[in-house]
Structure 1
Amino acid sequence: MADLARLSFNQMTAGKASLKEVAESCVRNGIQWIGPWRHAIGDNPAEAGKMLQDYGLKVSSLCRGGMFPAATIAERQKRIDDNLRAIDEAAALNTDLLVLVNGPAPDKDIDGARQMVVDGIGAIVNHAASRGVRLGIEPLHPMFAADRSVIVTMGHANEIAAQFSPHQVGLVVDVYHIWWDPQVYREIARTGERIFAFHVSDWIVPLPDTLMGRGMMGDGVIQIRRLREAVEAAGYQGPIEVEIFNQQLWDRHTDEIIRQVAERFIKLV
């Protein structure tokens, strides 16, 4: 059974609720960690960081950076510049982790797009180190290869991370994206100290929607506890983020969502 003190509530699990609303609900329900998204922190990330600190909340990560591939050199530079800003935002929020969702190919050249991801990380890693921020590569499920990420396995993410310092570039292990992989437990063990984050949700059968069809823990087929035990055996002892994109869940009150998340977390994670 996972310790509730490790539960981090990813802001997107409450859908359109503001960062302040989610923070207040976390405090009311005894949640100590929060995972904000960039679109919700406003124009003053330092102010958002102070608000979360005043609420007594710790920030497990900031989502998202990445999206490096682009059709032109100028556009790729814009993506890099945006990632440099995201690193500064993470530092302002007092988190040491920026989650990288690495984007699709701008054309049919998926191998070229994957090299753009490597080059993009290389362009920002020194700035991240200077700000005390680590970069977490999040491999997505292969169904997202065409529109969200050309990095779709832990094995490939590990190959990329291995080109950089283990203190600076690692992986975000999200059960929704990696549970299906026959090499998943080998790759978790291989990742070791490069496991920078662990995210949980569930895979509903039948899947109602690729993006918006994530389930509450226990409503699907993922062996969540086995995966949690594997990442812990590999050395990860940090916060565990619950990240669920589901409109039916988003239609509920934030307090109700957080209470169910906490209940399922204790019981199933």
Structure 2
Amino acid sequence: MTAPRVDRSAGLARFSFNQATSMNWPLEEAVAACADAGVPGIGLWREPVGAYGVERAARLVRAAGLTVTSLCRGGFFTADDWRAENLRAIEEAATLDCPVLVLVSGGLPAGSRDLDGARQRVADAIAELAPHATAAGVRLAIEPLHPMFCSDRCVISTLGQALDIAERFETEAVGVVVDAYHVWWDDTVHQQIARAGERIAAFQVCDWITPLPEGVLLGRGLPGEGCIDLRGLRSAVDTTGYTGPIEVEVFHGDVWARPGREVLAASVEGYLRHVL
């Protein structure tokens, strides 16, 4: 069944430009271009924001009239310093007035084959972090990644697995990320989106392009360049009552090589044509 279209006159009201889509674009230029284009939100990444200065970045975004829609990323719970690093991430999100900290869980510990144990470690870590995040006004959002990343980047591979953990906590404390690139292939994804309901903390879109480049991590296309039914996923997410930002987040070397304003314009056009 074809998903219903949204009136394009709604335009960019929910659009957010994720910083990773133009990774080499200086933050000041990206923020200024978003403001010029009438884009209301921007998703930020900790590394470039840290290099710029978290408090300085917060002032920059506020002065431009933008909202930080997500901060990526916390998680990677196999690292020795995971607790301290995630507490810093929560503090940074709060400084940026960002309501959502995206968690990428990390893969298997070195030398381990205990996948169940690794997933339990994720749940235990989130249990430790959740009170701190709630006190800071930040919601933790578990992001499942495509199964090809299970060994080294994320042992949470499906939206269902993410919900199995999130549902142990208050809805306001722990939610999930619906990222089209990572969940589109799952034959239960619409059921899991319905199950998620108010736990959807972030919705991210890009496209799946084939053949994948050698570095599959950088294999995302702009909306409309691949095979994902982005409008269908958006409709499913909207049906749950989610009215929050829709971030365009693309990792691809060719996209990163293009001028930032050109990438922003292409992201907006792809969003309007293939997501709304």
TM-score range, shorter chain: over 0.9
Runs of 4+ off more than 6 Å: none
Q: Quick one: which of 215, 218, 238 aligns to 1:212?
A: 218
The correspondence for 1:56, drawn from 57, 65, 69, is 65
Taking only aligned residues, the RMSD between alpha carbons, in angstroms, comes to 1.1
Residue type matched to 2:205 in 1? V
Tell whether 2:15 aligns with 1:7.
yes
Q: Which residue of 2 aligns with 1:16?
A: 24
2:200 is equivalent to residue 195 of structure 1: yes
List alignment gaps of at least 5 residues for structure 2: 1-5
Provide, for residues 41-60 of structure 1, a one-character-per-residue CA deviation record: whole Å limited to 9, x for no partner. Answer: 12641221111000111110
The separation in 2 between residues aligned to 1:24 and 1:56, in whole angstroms, is 10
Percent of aligned pairs with the same amino acid: 49
159-168 or 203-212: bigger deviation: 203-212
The answer to whether residue 164 in structure 2 is matched with residue 164 in structure 1 is: no
- Structure 1 gap segments, 5+ residues each: none
SS at match of 2:203: strand
Q: Is the 8 A contact 1:138 1:157 kept in 2?
A: yes
1:229 and 2:235 matched? yes
Is it true that 1:150 corresponds to 2:150 in the alignment?
no
Is the counterpart of residue 119 in structure 1 residue 119 in structure 2?
Answer: no
Q: Is contact 1:19–1:36 with CA below 8 Å preserved after alignment?
A: no
Q: How big is each residue's C-alpha offset from its partner over 1:211-249, in whole Å with a ceiling of 9 and x where there is no partner?
A: 001011111110000000000001110010000001101
| Alignment TM-score, normalising by the size of structure 1 | 0.95
Distance 1:51 1:218 in 2: 31
Partner of 1:29: 37
In structure 2, what is the equivalent of residue 91 of structure 1? 94
For the residues of structure 2 that align with 1:261 and 1:140, how far apart are their CA atoms? 22
Partner of 2:135: 130
What letter matches 2:106 in structure 1?
G
Shift of 1:20: 1.5
Q: Does the alignment pair 1:246 with 2:255?
A: no
How far apart, in 2, do the equivalents of 1:249 and 1:47 lie?
27
Report if aligned partners of 1:179, 1:222 keep a CA contact under 8 Å in 2: yes
CA distances 1:95-124 after superposition (whole Å, capped 9, x unpaired): 111000110011222221111111110111
1:28: how far off? 2.2
SS in 1 for 2:165: helix
Alignment partner, residue 176 of structure 1: 181
AA aligned opposite 1:95: C
Are the counterparts in 2 of residues 29 and 255 from structure 1 also a CA contact under 8 Å? Answer: no
Quote the Cα distance in structure 1 between the aligned partners of 2:116 and 2:87: 24
Q: Distance in 1 between matches of 2:175 and 2:39?
A: 26
Q: Matched residues in 2 for 1:15 and 1:257: separation?
A: 11
CA-CA distance at 1:69 after TM superposition: 2.3
Q: 1:121-168: CA deviations, max 9, x gaps?
A: 011100100000000000000010011100000111110001111111
> When the two structures are superposed, what TM-score results if normalisation uses the length of structure 2?
0.93
| Residues 134 and 168, structure 1, Cα contact 8 Å, conserved in 2 | yes
| 1:102 equivalenced with 2:105 (yes/no) | yes
Counterpart residue identity of residue 52, structure 1: V
